[in-house]
Amino acid sequence: MEFLDEDLQRYAEEHTSPESALLQRLNRQTHLNVMKPRMLSGHLQGRLLSMFSHMIQPKQILEIGTYTGYSALCLAEGLQPGGTLHTIDKNEELEDMVRNYITEAGLQESIKLYIGNALDIIPTIDATFDLVFIDADKINYATYYDMVFDRVASGGYIIADNVLWSGKVLEKYRKKLDEDTAALLAFNKKVQDDDRVENILLSVRDGLMVARKL
């Protein structure tokens, strides 16, 4: 997942605003107690998501894939007063942990957590989104994109994580073309070919596709 030299990565983090004490604790608890901690956005990407959110100043955010809640807390930092972040995850085992951190952050009125299948839940959320963050099962990235597109405000953003997939989007970095890699290749092409958006693929951490709806 890490493409930069380890020392350069450390240098970048040392010259990035630090995590809050709460986010540091969530980061550490995730690595100590939760399977696949690499799924956490982490310091550098978390600060980037926060920066995006502050720049966009969204009223409504949709996050598809909560995991332990780190990215939700970062994205919520830029919400307008009275705004809402809707976050969906299918892993009910992490629900108590996520809710505890949301409450500790004082964001229980701003963040709505949904547990279940995002394909079923998204249509039930009555909102127009200024920002959508996709970080869930890779097979359905294109489906999520299509589901939310018409509900994203003009000038709004869709951001998708893991679009470089540890480099496996390039043939030289993979042994075979698995279904997740194939899905991400199709998703990246879909966004690149979509004349309804302006997009940039950032090689931050595992890759972020950022698309602005025209």
Q: Taking a C-beta distance cutoff of 8 angstroms, is the pair 53, 131 a contact?
A: yes
In a domain, 210, yes or no: no
154: left (phi over 0), alpha (psi -120 to 50) or beta: beta
pTM of full prediction above 0.85: yes
In a domain, 170, yes or no: no
Query: Going residue by residue through the chain (214 aa), what tens digit of pLDDT does each one get?
Result: 566 788 988 999 999 999 999 999 999 999 988 877 777 889 999 999 999 999 999 999 999 999 999 999 999 999 999 999 999 999 999 999 999 999 999 999 999 999 999 999 999 999 999 999 999 999 999 999 999 999 999 999 999 999 999 999 999 999 899 999 999 999 999 999 999 999 999 998 899 999 999 9
34 contact partners, CB below 8 Å, separation of at least 6: 68, 94, 97
Beta-ladder partners of 134:
64, 160
What is the pairing mode between strands 60-64 and 84-89?
Answer: parallel
- Element containing residue 96 per DSSP (H, E): helix 95-104
In a domain, 169, yes or no: no
Half-sphere exposure of 99 (CA within 13 A, CB side): 10
Give strand ranges (E) for the chain: 60-64, 84-89, 111-115, 129-134, 152-161, 197-202, 208-213
Nearest Cα to Cα of residue 93 among 68, 118, 72: 68
Half-sphere exposure of 146 (CA within 13 A, CB side): 7
In a domain, 119, yes or no: yes
**In the prediction, which pLDDT does 197 show?**
98
**CATH at 94:** 3.40.50.150
In a domain, 122, yes or no: yes
Using DSSP's 3-state secondary structure scheme, residue 175 falls into coil
Domain hosting 144: range is 6-161
**In the prediction, which pLDDT does 131 show?**
98
| pLDDT, tens digit, 9 for 90 and up, residues 132-177 | 999 999 999 999 999 999 999 999 999 999 999 999 999 999 989 9
- Work out how many domains the chain is built from and give that number: 1
**In the prediction, which pLDDT does 9 show?**
87
In a domain, 168, yes or no: no
**In the prediction, which pLDDT does 6 show?**
85
**Residue 84: count of CB within 10 angstroms of its CB:** 19
